[in-house]
């Protein structure tokens, strides 16, 4: 079946630098995407979402970019801080069925170096 | 807002016993709740989707008689792992969705189950 995957399983960045986490998706019909952050031993935490009718959305220190042509999603974290260290998952959903679940990618571990 | 809790956070049990995990939406009514299982260093795998007042929909490969789900109210769903075995040891996470939040799911903190 169709799936969501990540290019980089691990990413190490210096504190203060910007981080870019990438996600490739294969279901061209997906029209809603979410980035989640999961710290060790905790449940995923919503970071930011984007719909397929947008190509960019900004939050506090985070930006999500969507390139539907190449089916690529990215999460940019500005001025990365130690508290950003976690595993980041992208998730996709198709259609307007509110009961339908998201498909999660395998995750990228972000390590922030002092 | 959008807080989801789980209880217990940690549980250790003997093989063959049953374990019940509760998932509650604290400040909103959850029309749909989802149960996931996550093994170490792996992504979340959906087990089942439950809507209040109706039977849960299980994903392929998930035994409905082993993982009993009850969504009795708009704020509570329970997952019961029956006759647990060591291979059921995992991190179980629920999420909840309300129409007021459109399609966003909010996750609970997870329950770590260790079956001896």
Which residues of chain A neighbour B2 with C-beta distances below 8 Å?
46
Give residue B53's pLDDT: 80
Whether the pLDDT of residue A111 is over 90: the answer is yes
Contact: B34, A36; criterion CB under 8 Å? no
Cα separation, B23 vs B95, in Å, equals 8
Cα separation, A90 vs B47, in Å, equals 18
Give residue A29's pLDDT: 86
Give Cα A30 to chain centroid, integer Å. Answer: 14
Question: Nearest CA of chain B to the CA of A103: how many Å?
Answer: 8
Return the DSSP state at A95. S
Whether the pLDDT of residue A105 is over 80: the answer is yes
Q: Which phi and psi (to 5°) does residue B104 adopt?
A: -70, 135
Kindly report which listed range (A41-45, A99-103, B78-82) carries the lowest average pLDDT score. Answer: A99-103
The residues pairing with A23 across neighbouring beta strands, listed in sequence order, are A73
Give residue A75's pLDDT: 98
pLDDT digits (tens, 9 = 90+) for A69-90: 999 999 999 999 999 999 999 9
Q: What is the CA radius of gyration of chain A?
A: 14
């Amino acid at each position: 079946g169709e799936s969501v995957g990540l290019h980089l399983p691990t990413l190490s960045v210096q504190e203060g630098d910007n981080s870019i986490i990438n996600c490739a998706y294969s279901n061209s019909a997906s029209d809603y995407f979410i980035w989640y952050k999961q710290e060790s031993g905790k449940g995923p935490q919503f970071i930011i979402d984007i719909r397929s009718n947008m190509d960019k959305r900004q939050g506090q220190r985070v930006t999500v970019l969507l390139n539907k042509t190449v089916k690529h999603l990215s999460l940019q974290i500005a001025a990365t801080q130690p508290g950003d260290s976690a595993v980041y998952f992208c998730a996709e959903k198709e259609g307007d069925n509110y009961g339908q679940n998201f498909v999660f990618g395998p995750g990228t571990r972000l390590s922030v170096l002092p | 807002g959008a807080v989801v809790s789980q209880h217990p956070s940690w549980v250790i049990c003997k093989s063959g016993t049953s374990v019940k995990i509760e998932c509650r939406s604290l400040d909103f009514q959850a029309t749909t709740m989802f149960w996931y299982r996550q093994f170490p260093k792996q992504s979340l795998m959906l087990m089942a989707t439950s809507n209040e007042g109706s039977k849960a929909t299980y994903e392929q490969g998930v035994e409905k008689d082993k993982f009993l789900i009850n969504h009795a109210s708009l704020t509570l769903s329970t997952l019961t792992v029956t006759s647990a075995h060591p291979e059921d040891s995992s991190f179980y996470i629920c999420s909840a969705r309300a129409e007021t939040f459109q399609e966003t799911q909010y996750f609970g903190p997870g329950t770590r189950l260790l079956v001896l």
